[in-house]
A and B are shown apart, each in its own frame.
Chain A
Amino acid sequence: MAGTTIASARPTAREAGADSGPGTRRRLRPAGYLWILPALVLCVGLIYYCIAYTAVISTWDWDGIDPFPEKVGAENYVRIAQDPIFWRTIRHTVVFFVVTFVVQTALGVVFAVLLHSRVWLGVVYKVIIFIPVVLAPAITAPVFRRLYAPDGQFNWVLEHVGLGGLAQPWLGQESTALPVIMAITVWQWTGLTFVLYFAAMSQIDPSVLEAARIDGAGNLRILASIIWPGVRGTTVALGILSAIGALKTFDVPYLVAVGGPNYATEFLGTYIYRKTIAQSHVGYGAALSVILLVLALTFAIIMQVRGREKDGVS
């Protein structure tokens, strides 16, 4: 007991004596380096090692097995710049990001607002919206292949609501394959958007809403002027996550449509996989990976900086 008293008395005395500057307190905090070390070793160690390795491979013409790969400098990158499929994957990624982000944000906000209002059986709705997040694309892919097949349930529903003329082989033709992939992605991830908005909205001060209501603001006005600005941070964070998610997209297009028909649902991720594993152009795949990484990092930094500027905090 006596030992603890003495040990604890020392920092207190120091704190009292040096209590002149604002920085003194922080200096008394124990060092945290050891605590963050495991995370850094695991992530930075493994991932940065892989990035460096990928960067090296990207200058080789390599099939993944040959012990003496030919070093070709920037040739892979030059070939990528002239590769029409690469530019198609970029276009797909941009369209995919804009559409899925806008739709998911709209749906997420609407669901969050509605389920924060007085709705019967709110939990049931929440669970239904979130369950797709929990299911693996590998598991749901067979369901969707079935659903969007020419004789699948989607066309069946169209026929039964009098839109039979719209029935078509959704995944079998280039014009509709990408929209189907986007629809599946929205189905899969809206639950996450919703849960994060729902959480952010529960932090909005009810008295502000009350005050606005007393001033005569209607529901839509409150949504536009209080709720939407109030969840800005979540929107920016989700924007970054969806952009990176769009660049990373692999599971859904690969499992549902294998990037086809005729590259109509090819994304950078599926293209890298096709090149690296299926065609054994490992060097080319590595160069694509480096480009993907640079794009993702650039986008994350731009979004982060711009998001902060508008917030008015540094």
Chain B
Amino acid sequence: MFEVRSRGARLLLQLVVTLLVLPFLFPLVAMVQGSLAGDGWGNYAAVLAVPGLWRFFVNTVVIAASVIVIVYAVTMLAAYGFSKLHIRGREIYFWLLLACLTLPEVVLLAPLFTTAQAFGFFDTYWAVILPLAALQVPFAVLLTRNFVNGIPDELFEAARVDGASAVRGFIHLIVPLTRPIAAAILIFTLIGAWNNYLMPLVFLQSPEMQTITLVPQFFVGQFSNDQTKILASAVLTAIPEVVAYLCLQRLFERGLAAGALK
């Protein structure tokens, strides 16, 4: 965007970005450094040796994967319907959905708590998966609908003329063409599900059901507040997400560029 001709100006630009990015880097460095203080890598070994730690990971993976599958399926279907198919009064339905974006999860606590108990969902994965998916879908549909709007109608008309049904239009056009925005949805949903704290805190009470966002508190008890071990566990839980983001970074940006909020 900015045009810099001289070498000096370019160096200045570089210096400004570097200075601005330092405050963002600082806590990350503090986190890694703190996790290596004292026993060094021994902290990681101690954390990994805690029995039941894998349980936290497995629970989070199960929950995050289920939420992603549900959100992806539901969102793609809805975005196709909203963008390319005929729905009378579709803006009304769309706004009904978007209004859910304003809903904070704390509002769900009391009703979900009683309902989950009544249906026997309490302390099961479903008590966390369903509300998380419901909270993620509106934003995902908003992004994906914008993206699908950018795919020319003529493509779908041509397919129809060739005798393709709506279902085949979905399978052969929507699914392959929405890959970039799917990467964005995947990352946002992963972040939302993996990082969620409140739902597991309230709805998953038994120790073998808990997720990794509850790990720091678990370790406060386990290591009688040994900060280095807590930070080591923090680094370990962050790794899968950072890796996922790095792998999908290019697709993610392409998807956002095409489906960006408008």
Contacts from A to B (Cβ < 8 Å)? 4-5, 7-8, 11-12, 25-36, 38-40, 42-44, 46-47, 49-51, 53-54, 57, 64, 107, 110-120, 123, 125-144, 146-147, 153, 157, 187, 190-191, 195-196, 198-204, 209, 213, 219, 222-223, 227, 233-234, 237-238, 244, 247-248, 250-251, 255, 268-269, 272-273, 276-277, 282, 285-286, 289, 292-293, 296-297, 300
Contacts and interface: CB of A to CB of B under 8 A. Distances in A.
Given A27-B86, A247-B104, A128 B25 contact: yes
B237 interface: yes
Contacts of B25: 128
B141 interface: yes
A250 B74 contact: no
A7 B166 CA distance: 14
B111 A50 contact: yes
* Secondary structure call for the A interface: helix
B167 to A, nearest CB: 9
B195 interface: yes
A208 to B, nearest CB: 11
A114 B112 CA distance: 46
Contact of A33 (B81, B133, B157, B227): B81
A276 to B, nearest CB: 6
Contacts, number: 308
B115 A134 contact: no
19 contacts: A5-B163, A42-B74, A43-B97, A44-B100, A57-B110, A111-B20, A114-B13, A134-B245, A138-B195, A140-B27, A143-B27, A147-B27, A195-B253, A199-B260, A209-B1, A234-B260, A247-B104, A250-B198, A285-B109
Nearest to A198: B253
A125 B184 CA distance: 19
A250 to B, nearest CB: 6
Contacts of B122: none
Contact of B198 (A39, A203, A251): A251
Nearest to B28: A131
Given A4-B163, A54-B107, A199-B260, A128 B213 contact: no
A9 B77 CA distance: 27
A119 B195 contact: no
Interface of B: 1-4, 10, 13-14, 16-17, 20-21, 23-28, 30-31, 34, 70, 73-75, 77-78, 80-82, 84-87, 90, 93, 96-97, 99-115, 130-131, 133-135, 137-138, 141, 157, 160-163, 165-166, 170, 191, 194-198, 202, 212-216, 227, 230-231, 234, 237-238, 241-242, 244-246, 249, 252-253, 256-257, 260-262
A256 to B, nearest CB: 12
Nearest to A34: B81
Contacts of B114: 53, 64
* Secondary structure call for the B interface: helix
A143 B26 CA distance: 11
Given A32-B166, A38-B77, 10 more contacts: A32-B80, A36-B93, A47-B134, A111-B21, A127-B246, A128-B21, A134-B244, A143-B30, A213-B3, A297-B99
Contacts of B227: 142, 146
Contacts of A297: 99, 102
B237 A136 contact: yes
A268 B103 CA distance: 13
Contacts of B215: 139
B110 A190 contact: no
A119 B245 CA distance: 22
A209 B20 CA distance: 25
Given A53-B111, A116-B1, A196-B260, A138 B130 contact: no
Given A32-B80, A39-B74, A219-B3, A244 B102 contact: yes
